[in-house]
Amino acid sequence: MPWVGSRFEYRENICGGGEYPVMSVGGTGSACVPDGEEPPAGFVRYPAGKVPQQVDDKWDVYWDTHTPDRDGRIVDVPATG
């Protein structure tokens, strides 16, 4: 009987334990902030329910092309070039 292997998939977390992810205003940058601390200047918390948890998950991919503007509206990332 042939061997049938199981599939193992490794997913990298966006932040480590005791941290939460934040995103830059007007760009696609992100950072991890210790729990209990506010985001640094130029960064905001992700909207509730739209927080990426793992690299390349649904929300991580979404935020590659979207960003909050200075008024807090979610907009497409400005084209560069």
pLDDT tens string 9-62: 778 999 999 999 999 999 889 999 999 999 999 999 999 999 999 999 999 999
Half-sphere exposure of 46 (CA within 13 A, CB side): 23
- Is the Cα dihedral 45, 15, 32, 29 positive or negative? negative
Query: Is there a domain that residue 29 lies in?
Result: yes
Written as six digits, the tokens of 73 are: 């509206």
Query: Is there a domain that residue 5 lies in?
Result: no
Q: Supply the range of the domain harboring residue 51.
A: 19-69
**pLDDT level of residue 81 (50, 70, 90 thresholds):** low
**pLDDT level of residue 79 (50, 70, 90 thresholds):** confident
H/E element holding 59?
Answer: helix 58-62
Query: Is there a domain that residue 53 lies in?
Result: yes
How many domains are contained in the chain? Answer: 1
Query: Is there a domain that residue 56 lies in?
Result: yes
**pLDDT at 63 > cutoff 90:** yes
Instruction: Please report, as a single letter, which amino acid is at residue 49.
Output: G
Query: Is there a domain that residue 77 lies in?
Result: no
Written as six digits, the tokens of 19 are: 């941290």
